[in-house]
């Protein structure tokens, strides 16, 4: 079972791999015993001495076959960027050994033999996945921006009209920020501001500034967008929530600041140097969410636009 899981975890595919336990090779449902599953099965999987925790989920359900309830177990091996997976020490059971440090893989329905290993070229492809090198620069930058703490700001964009940041591990990827000409030579205005009727809030909204950003690879522009500087925080621009609303007048449309988008992570990079350096990384984006909520509630009246809540973790990917 360990050999199968390691081999499947080291397969390059976005789809989950499934191992069905409780069905014979000739497709008869035999089930497995509950005491075996409850006492050994999941414990064994979690105790494997691997270099990274295996991306495994286990699901169980009962089915009736010839009137008898049978327990089936589905082992789901999820795709993970942490490949290659391998053991940190030998694992022996029933006279069979899975060797430490060996990278097993799978081709169609065949695993790498326990006494063998993947070829150099195949192992290299797995390491490329680990570091995101298998992606094109345009797609790779979408993953790098999510490592907000790995970007080094050379200039504070809130006190200058231009700044440059670069990724600490891959400095060929840079983020350029500059004050938009509309903010440099005129007042800030966006269609959603038509929904503001209070004079004081209109004055506060006019203090917002517009910023352009460009993500580059060796100087080549990959992605661009606009952000707004509200009070103390650079954040995404509100966008129309549903495309069909474009037919409505601006004041009747529903606007939202969406989190976990490209604009969101670029904004987080811009203010990452404002956080305490010893704060746990897992709290950084939550702190940024709080800052967006706080500053927008002070500067804009309730109901002008909606701030989306953070979505559950989706494997390190996001949709533009």
Give the residues across from 165 on adjacent strands. Answer: 153, 175
Which segments in the chain show pLDDT lower than 50? 274-281, 312-317, 319-320
> How many other CB atoms sit within 10 Å of the CB of residue 57?
10
Q: How far apart are CA 104 and CA 121, in angstroms?
A: 13
CB 65 within 8 A of CB 108: no
Instruction: Compute how many other C-beta atoms are within 10 angstroms of the C-beta atom of residue 86.
Output: 22
- Under 8 Å between Cβ of 262 and 320: yes
Class of domain 2-130: alpha beta
- pLDDT for res 309: 67
| Measured torsion, CA atoms of residues 185, 221, 319, 303, in degrees rounded to the nearest 10 | 0
Cα(149)–Cα(275) distance, integer angstroms:
10
What is the predicted pLDDT for the residue at 159?
A: 56
pLDDT the model gives residue 275: 45
Distance CA 244, CA 253 (A): 10
Number of other residues whose CB lies within 10 A of the CB of residue 126: 21
C-beta separation of 262 from 198 below 8 A: no
pLDDT at 311: 52
- Residue span(s) of the chain under CATH 3.30.950 come to 2-130
Query: Is 17 within 8 Å of 5 (Cβ atoms)?
Result: no
Q: What are phi and psi of 290, to 5 degrees?
A: -65, -40
């Amino acid at each position: 079972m360990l050999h199968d899981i390691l081999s499947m975890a080291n397969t390059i595919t976005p789809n989950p791999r499934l191992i069905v336990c409780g069905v014979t090779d000739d497709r008869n449902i035999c089930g497995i015993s509950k005491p075996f599953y409850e006492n050994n099965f999941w414990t064994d999987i979690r105790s494997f001495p691997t270099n990274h925790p295996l991306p495994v989920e286990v699901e169980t359900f009962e089915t009736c076959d010839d009137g008898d309830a049978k327990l089936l177990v589905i082992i789901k091996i999820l795709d993970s960027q942490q490949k290659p997976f391998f053991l940190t020490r030998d694992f022996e059971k029933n006279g069979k050994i899975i060797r430490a440090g060996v990278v097993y893989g799978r081709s169609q329905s065949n695993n790498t033999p326990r006494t063998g290993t993947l070829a150099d070229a195949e192992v290299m492809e797995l390491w490329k996945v680990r570091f995101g090198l298998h992606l094109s620069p345009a797609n790779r930058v979408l993953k790098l921006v999510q490592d907000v703490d790995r970007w080094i700001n050379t200039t504070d964009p809130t006190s200058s009209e231009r700044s440059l940041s670069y990724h600490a591990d891959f400095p060929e990827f840079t983020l350029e920020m500059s004050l938009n000409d509309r903010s440099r030579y005129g007042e800030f205005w966006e269609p959603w501001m038509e929904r503001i009727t209070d004079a004081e809030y209109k004055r506060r909204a006019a203090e917002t500034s517009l910023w352009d950003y460009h993500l580059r690879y060796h100087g080549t522009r990959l992605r661009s967008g606009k952000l707004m500087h509200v009070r103390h925080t650079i954040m995404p621009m509100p966008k129309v929530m549903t495309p069909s609303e474009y037919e409505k007048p601006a004041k009747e449309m529903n606007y939202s600041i969406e989190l976990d988008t490209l604009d969101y992570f670029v904004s987080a990079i811009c203010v990452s140097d404002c956080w305490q350096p010893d704060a746990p990384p897992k709290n950084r984006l939550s702190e940024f969410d709080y800052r967006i909520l706080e500053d927008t509630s002070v500067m804009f009246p309730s109901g002008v636009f909606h701030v989306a809540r953070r979505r559950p973790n989706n494997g390190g990917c996001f949709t533009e």
